[in-house]
Amino acid sequence: MGTRMTGAIAGAMLLLTLRAVPAAAQEASDEQTAADQATGDDAATNAGSEDEAPADDAEGADSIEGEEQAEATEPTPEPETPANILEASDRLTRGISLYDNGDYAGALSEFEEAYGLVGDHPARFQILFNIARAHERLFRYDDALDAYSRYLEEGGAELENYATVQATVETLRGMLGTLIITVNVPEAEIWVDDRLVGTAPGSVSVPGGRHTVELRTRNYIAQQTEVQVAARGEAELFFELEELADEYQGLSPLFFYGGVGATVVALGVGIGFGVSALGARSTVDARTPPLATQDEIENIESLALTADIFYITAGVLAAGTIVLGIFTDWGPGDEEETTDGSLSLRIHPVFGPNVAGVVVGGAL
């Protein structure tokens, strides 16, 4: 119950403060108007008490004093609250509601948005208290400690809850451990449990317990490890990051040409078996009457099935060859290799009564 009321009170006080700036300006304007009106009344009294003043002058003075008094009593328009302050107040209201209902992550998001919206408003530091409480409830004691410390620094020793918050800060310090991290690169980001907490080489404070630590930097492969650190304890970690390749070179054209060759071979063999099947079928059809033995029928069916298998294989190889072509490095050196005779490929189909296929020849 105490946690609920503390968060709500801090938010409510800030909402009143955010709205108080235009109101304070209005009060100052009212005070100035009252002062002007009092001055006008004194002048009118003095003018009326002078017996030697001409009647016309007295009447003119009364008229002028009346006009000044009318101007002084005209209402001053109240300044409008800036849109960013209104939105910040709305977000604080939602954040307090989420906090009181146990949605600390949602509340933290609203508090941080409100903190960014208020800009340089003098009450901005008060939002840090709510941010710190949300971090504390999420067990992010390092972030809570940072927010509490900034709250005390910006609010000053005159804060009513200064002593209480200072005691909380000391308690949180005792719940943190230290990770001392070294790395083989000049600078790398330190991510603890998917949160950016600092840069390495260096040390960072984390809540006691088990954590996933990852180092990231440009042009190097990220590396992570698990570490256990006790509260008020230390753990030393060393990371050796591997450098990424300067540039992806692509595949050698030999793979593409190999795919083309295999596709042609499969297609040629399929055509060969298909021609053989047609030839056997034509032989049977040329008879009068066109009768075939069981062996001839089975042979024709076998040749046709084999042809279909090689046709399908050729289609699959062609698709794979297209993919290889996309990832092939077609540098200027490749053309020189093909034009100077270093790579050649010759394919000759071979067909016969009992055989069908291709002969592949060439040199690398």
Other Cβ atoms within 10 Å of 311 Cβ, number: 16
With a threshold of 0.75, does the pTM exceed it? no
What is the domain count for the chain? 3
Domain that holds residue 271: 253-363
Measure the CA angle with vertex 73, ends 72 and 74; round to 5°: 95
258 and 197 share a domain? no
Task: Verify that 167 and 184 share a domain, yes or no.
Answer: no
Indicate the SS3 state at residue 182.
strand
pLDDT tens, position by position, 159-216: 999 999 999 999 999 999 999 999 999 999 999 999 999 999 999 999 999 999 999 9
CA distance 308 to 277: 11
At residue 18, the pLDDT reads 58
Same domain for 136 and 38, yes or no, is yes
Q: Identify whether residues 108 and 47 lie together within a single domain.
A: yes
> Could you tell me which residues are beta bridge partners of residue 235?
179
Residues 59 and 149 in one domain: yes
Q: Which CA distances in Å does 68 have to 23, 64, 305? A: 25, 6, 112
Cα–Cα distance, 241 to 201 (Å, whole number): 13
Are both 95 and 79 inside the same structural domain? yes
6 and 126 part of one domain: yes
Backbone region of residue 362 per phi and psi (left: phi > 0; alpha: psi in -120 to 50; beta: other values): left
Asked if omega into 349 is within 30° of 0 (cis), the reply is: no
Beta carbons of 330 and 254 less than 8 angstroms apart: no
Q: Say if 246 falls within a structural domain.
A: no
245 occurs within a structural domain = no
Does residue 219 share a domain with residue 98? no
Question: How sure is the predictor about 142, in pLDDT bands with cuts at 50, 70 and 90?
Answer: very high
Last residue of one domain, picked from the residues 155, 171, 187: 171
| Final residue belonging to a domain, choices 145, 171, 197 | 171
Does residue 62 belong to any structural domain of this protein? yes
